[in-house]
């Protein structure tokens, strides 16, 4: 093995869980779970990535038990006997292949499309009411419903532990519900959940507290966050490291064990004046392990145009040498790999054995299949 890869393929400990290496399959929505139930094809899809050498698999987003949590067709849920039985089969296959796995717990918030399950008549929910053409399209959450959602996160985490998962990830990124509370553009509340950064992080910290109470002190909790939004790549929830500290430190104190910093390009600095990326800053601020992600292993950068087939074929190339240099320097601890693993389930094993020329290149067809 190339010496520069030594850290990437060394074990890593998160609480009582030992990962066989530092590679993480990033969560990616696949929309192959009719009625919210992952079937045998989903189980086989995840097992192939585990057999391909991945250390930790984070599931695609799985919706919590709230009537407006889901926003898209055929995404899996993490409640109900049928869905949980499906996830148990997924987990058993991943464990048999030597990897660890956590479900990503998800509420889409204002990105819900009317007519989606589980309650098709429900409009979206978010920090505040949104009225369009005289119709309420997003219902601002009142305290009672906030409490319902917090409890649903706790129940989902408890179910994950009972099924034998190795932890949970909270989806707090990409302009979904938790991130809508973080961002001052979508959170214009004037109560204890709005205004200052300290107030805007309150909803997320209450979710972490509820999960920690439900699973006990030793069950790993991962928190995924981002600056960029689905509808605005330039958006920021933190303008400076000081702002980021006001978000991440309360989450760390509430019980987060690992911070998963979602970026479009892992090599880009998070703030002026430092080369640290967002995962690097998360680790520096909290002292907790962090996951770096963003176009790892791709020959084209992350872009919405990639998903529509309109991408620029001259887009930048990511550099695994730079990735390993940063990892070896302890900037972050774990490496999230997304679309590269959709294209080639053996990506990790091929990198480990220096078979770079044998890696299948990503193209958008990989988004529509479970190969």
CA nearest neighbour of 182 among 171, 149, 354, 92: 171
Strand partners, 124: 138
Which residue of the set 79, 176, 193, 233 is catalytic? 176
Residue 137: what are its φ and ψ, rounded to 5°? -105, -20
Burial bucket for residue 321 (CB in 10 Å: 0-12, 13-18, 19+):
exposed
d(CA 181, CA 168): 21
Strand partners, 334: 291
79 catalytic? Reply is no
d(CA 111, CA 197): 22
d(CA 343, CA 359): 9
Label residue 118 left, alpha or beta by phi (over 0 means left) and psi (-120 to 50 means alpha): alpha
What is the set of active-site residues? 176
């Amino acid at each position: 093995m190339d010496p520069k890869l030594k850290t990437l393929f060394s074990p890593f400990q998160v609480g009582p869980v030992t990962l066989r290496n530092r590679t993480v399959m990033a969560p990616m929505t696949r929309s192959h779970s009719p009625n919210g139930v992952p079937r045998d094809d989903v189980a086989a899809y995840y097992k192939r990535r585990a057999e391909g050498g991945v250390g930790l698999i984070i599931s695609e987003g799985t919706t919590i038990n709230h009537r407006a949590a889901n926003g898209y067709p055929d995404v899996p849920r993490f409640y109900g006997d049928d869905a949980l039985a499906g996830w148990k089969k997924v987990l058993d296959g991943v464990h048999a292949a030597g990897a660890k796995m956590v479900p990503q717990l998800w509420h889409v918030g204002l990105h819900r499309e009317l007519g989606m399950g589980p309650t098709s008549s429900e409009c979206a929910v978010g920090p505040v009411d949104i009225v369009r053409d005289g119709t309420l399209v997003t219902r601002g959450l009142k305290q009672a419903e906030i409490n319902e959602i917090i409890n649903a996160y706790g129940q989902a985490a408890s179910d994950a532990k009972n099924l034998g998962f190795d932890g949970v990830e909270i989806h707090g990124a990409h302009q979904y519900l938790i991130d809508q509370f973080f961002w001052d553009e979508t959170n214009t509340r004037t109560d204890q959940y709005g205004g200052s950064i300290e107030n805007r992080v309150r909803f997320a910290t209450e979710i972490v507290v509820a999960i920690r109470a439900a699973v006990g002190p030793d069950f790993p909790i991962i928190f995924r966050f981002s600056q960029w939004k689905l509808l605005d790549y330039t958006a920021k929830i933190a303008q400076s490291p000081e702002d980021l500290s006001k978000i991440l430190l309360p989450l760390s104190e509430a019980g987060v064990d690992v911070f998963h910093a979602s970026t479009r390009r892992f090599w880009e600095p998070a703030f002026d004046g430092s080369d640290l990326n967002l995962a690097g800053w998360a680790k520096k601020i909290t002292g907790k392990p962090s996951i770096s992600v963003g176009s790892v292993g791709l020959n084209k950068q992350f872009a919405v145009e990639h998903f529509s087939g309109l991408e620029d074929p001259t887009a930048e190339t990511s550099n695994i040498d730079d990735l390993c240099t940063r990892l070896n320097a302890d900037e972050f601890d774990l490496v999230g790999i997304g679309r590269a693993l959709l294209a080639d389930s053996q990506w990790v094993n091929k990198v480990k054995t220096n078979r770079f020329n044998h890696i299948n290149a990503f193209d958008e067809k990989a988004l529509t299949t479970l190969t």
